[in-house]
A and B are shown apart, each in its own frame.
Chain A
Amino acid sequence: AQSVTQPDIHITVSEGASLELRCNYSYGATPYLFWYVQSPGQGLQLLLKYFSGDTLVQGIKGFEAEFKRSQSSFNLRKPSVHWSDAAEYFCAVGAAGGGNKLTFGTGTQLKVEL
Chain B
Amino acid sequence: SAVISQKPSRDICQRGTSLTIQCQVDSQVTMMFWYRQQPGQSLTLIATANQGSEATYESGFVIDKFPISRPNLTFSTLTVSNMSPEDSSIYLCSVYGTGNHYGYTFGSGTRLTVV
Bound complex: CA of A99 vs CA of B99, how far in Å?
12
Residues B41 and A46 in contact, CB atoms below 8 Å apart: no
For A99, give its contact among B1, B31, B92 (CB under 8 Å): B31
**Across the interface, do A99 and B30 meet the contact criterion of CB distance under 8 Å?**
yes
Chain B residues with CB under 8 Å of A43's CB are: 6, 92, 106-109
Q: Would you call A106 an interface residue if the criterion is a C-beta within 8 Å of the partner chain's C-beta atoms?
A: yes
Contacts of B44 in A (CB 8 A): 104
Structural contact, A90 and B106, CB atoms closer than 8 A? no
CB closest residue in chain B, given A103? B45
- Does B14 sit within 8 A of A, measured CB to CB? no
Give the complex CA separation of A46 and B103 in angstroms: 9
A63 to B44, CA, bound (A): 25
B101 shortest CB reach to chain A, Å:
8
Q: State whether the Cβ of B113 lies closer than 8 Å to any Cβ in chain A.
A: no
Size of interface on A: residues with Cβ below 8 Å to B: 23
What residues on A are CB-neighbors of B30 within 8 Å? Answer: 99
B42 adjacent to A90 (CB under 8 Å)? yes
Please, which residues of chain A bring their CB within 8 A of the CB of B105?
46
Flag if A101 contacts B33 (CB, 8 Å): yes
Q: Which of B31, B41, B111 is A106 in contact with, Cβ under 8 Å?
A: B41
- Whether B108 lies near A42 (C-beta < 8 A) is yes
| A90 engages B43 (CB within 8 Å) | yes
**B92 with A44: CB separation less than 8 A:** yes
Q: Is the CB of B48 within 8 A of A101?
A: yes
The distance in angstroms between the C-alpha atoms of A107 and B37, with both chains bound, is 11
Determine the distance from Cα of A3 to Cα of B6 in the docked complex, in whole angstroms: 28
Q: Smallest Cβ distance from A22 to chain B, in angstroms?
A: 15
Q: Which residues of A contact B (CB under 8 A)?
A: 32, 34, 36, 41-46, 49, 51, 90, 94, 98-107
